Amino acid sequence: MAANIAVDVVDVTKRFRLYTEKYQSLKERFLHAGRNPYQDFFALRNINFEIPEGQTVGILGRNGSGKSTLLKCVSGILQPTDGKVVVRGSLAALLELGAGFQPELSGRENIYLNASLLGLSTKDVDKRFDEIVAFAELEQFIDNQVKYYSSGMYVRLGFAVAVNVDPDILVVDEVLAVGDEAFSRKCMARIKEFQDDGRTILFVTHSSDLVRQICDFAVVLSSGDMIGSGLAADAVRIYHEHLNTVGPGIGAGTPEMEESVAPAPVAKSIAISSVEVEHPGMGSRSYMRPWEPLMVHVAFDAIEPVAGVVFALEVFDQEGRLIFGSDTEILDRPFDAPVGAGRADLSFEQVPLLDGSYSMKVEVKDRLGILYDSREQKAFEVMNPDRSRGSVAMELHADIRAASLS
């Protein structure tokens, strides 16, 4: 292995046996000894990648994709069924909430226990003990049994121990999401310090923004298979494009969106027949880029003349929060619908959004707000090609100069 490679994952496969019968009594176990039927479950299949020293690497994937199993193989908690993981340097891992903690022991005793497992002597822990406790913000509770700790206290203590043993390689699972906002900022500051010191970091996160912000590159897993890897922005794109092809809840990438009709309207003199979304990437990519235009085509049919028709559009983020809403009444665009088919084109010259999947609700109503028809559907995905983060695209310019000396 080259001297500049911190972690080398070579053809790693991890297989588990899932037993279809569970025998409770000693007699049942004796009678069926060696004949308990099982199925092979492959949590990982032929995973290959290298992590150069000093790199920060993200692992992206849905629940059940094999992310945590991969980190456990890297950390030595699990042994691969086939293949190997070669680690160069000392490694500290924070993989599960409270992993390695003994609930009957105090926080103080668990610090010494966990630090010893990570290779520190008692004298080393003595020197760093106050710093660990201060980082975890547990001065008042350090002599309490950890079985009485909250989930946030578990996380703070575990992370404080892991980062204060000064490992060459830090492996972190998604447990940091349990901490509060202030502690998360503190953890991110420490991770930045690790990066500045040239340490290697491997971590799992669902946050595309976080991967883009701090990772050099990332690996994308799906059902135990490695479906892609690359620079952070490229890996995020691969991840989201894969999500578009599987399961509900992810922004679809074609005009034929998955739709769900809203509850029955008060009246049906006019009805929506289809809603299609169009952006510059249609046909070549399933996502938009920040600042690109977006067109929403609302096809409708009127079974009788309808005066004062209002078309309304609302856009929601992945958490279901309304981020935009308007209608043709607000835009002062009155419309009287004759009998027959028609189409309303609702357009945005620029969409100032960053990474995310966005849903949409379209309504047809009258000027009094009485609803004729509505549609809710997955609408569009935005992927940010640069390293800016957040949810809103804003143009930032910088002019920096030294103050004139008097």
Give 237's pLDDT tier (boundaries 50, 70, 90): confident
Would you say residue 391 lies in a domain?
no
How far apart CA 143 and CA 145 sit, in angstroms, is 7
Q: Six-digit token pair at 277?
A: 């979304």
24-29 average pLDDT score? 60
Would you say residue 400 lies in a domain?
no
Asked whether residue 268 falls in the same domain as residue 224, the answer is no
How far apart CA 190 and CA 8 sit, in angstroms, is 25
Asked whether residue 23 falls in the same domain as residue 98, the answer is yes
Asked whether residue 265 falls in the same domain as residue 232, the answer is no
Asked whether residue 33 falls in the same domain as residue 81, the answer is yes
Number of other residues whose CB lies within 10 A of the CB of residue 123: 7
Asked whether residue 302 falls in the same domain as residue 186, the answer is no
Give 259's pLDDT tier (boundaries 50, 70, 90): very low
Would you say residue 390 lies in a domain?
no
Asked whether residue 167 falls in the same domain as residue 275, the answer is no
> Counting every residue, how long is the chain?
406
Give 3's pLDDT tier (boundaries 50, 70, 90): low
List CB contacts of 377: < 8 A, sequence separation 6 or more: 257, 258, 259, 260, 275, 359, 360
The CATH number linked to 51 is 3.40.50.300
Of 243, 270, 289, the one marking the end of a domain is 243
What does DSSP say about strands 91-94 and 225-231: parallel, antiparallel, or unpaired? unpaired
> What is the model's pLDDT at position 147?
87
Asked whether residue 295 falls in the same domain as residue 217, the answer is no
The answer to whether residues 96 and 105 touch, using CB atoms and an 8 Å cutoff, is no
The CATH number linked to 354 is 2.70.50.60
Asked whether residue 327 falls in the same domain as residue 212, the answer is no
When the pLDDT of each residue in the chain is averaged and rounded to a whole number, the result is: 83
The answer to whether residues 6 and 87 touch, using CB atoms and an 8 Å cutoff, is yes
Would you say residue 51 lies in a domain?
yes
Asked whether residue 38 falls in the same domain as residue 168, the answer is yes
Asked whether residue 151 falls in the same domain as residue 225, the answer is yes
Would you say residue 250 lies in a domain?
no
The answer to whether residues 375 and 272 touch, using CB atoms and an 8 Å cutoff, is yes
How far apart CA 174 and CA 157 sit, in angstroms, is 15
How far the first Cα of the chain sits from its last, in Å, is 57
Would you say residue 401 lies in a domain?
no
In 215-312, where does DSSP find H-type helix? 232-243
The answer to whether residues 6 and 90 touch, using CB atoms and an 8 Å cutoff, is no
Residue pointed to by tokens 């835009």: 331
How far apart CA 138 and CA 129 sit, in angstroms, is 12
Asked whether residue 94 falls in the same domain as residue 226, the answer is yes
The number of distinct structural domains making up the chain is: 2
Q: Six-digit token pair at 327?
A: 């209608």
Would you say residue 387 lies in a domain?
no
| Structural domain boundaries enclosing 62 | 5-243
Q: Tens digit of pLDDT for each residue in 262-321?
A: 344 444 789 999 999 999 988 888 889 999 999 999 999 999 999 999 999 999 887 778
Give 4's pLDDT tier (boundaries 50, 70, 90): confident
The answer to whether residues 312 and 300 touch, using CB atoms and an 8 Å cutoff, is no
204-231 average pLDDT score? 85
Q: Tens digit of pLDDT for each residue in 84-129?
A: 999 998 888 877 655 668 889 999 999 998 888 777 889 989 999 9
> What is the model's pLDDT at position 26?
62
The answer to whether residues 22 and 100 touch, using CB atoms and an 8 Å cutoff, is no
Q: Six-digit token pair at 187?
A: 């953890």
List CB contacts of 34: < 8 A, sequence separation 6 or more: none
Q: Six-digit token pair at 337?
A: 């619908």
Of 197, 217, 243, the one marking the end of a domain is 243
Q: Is the pLDDT of residue 130 over 90?
A: yes
- What is the residue-wise DSSP string for 299-317? EEEESS-BSSEEEEEEEE-
Would you say residue 403 lies in a domain?
no
Asked whether residue 233 falls in the same domain as residue 358, the answer is no
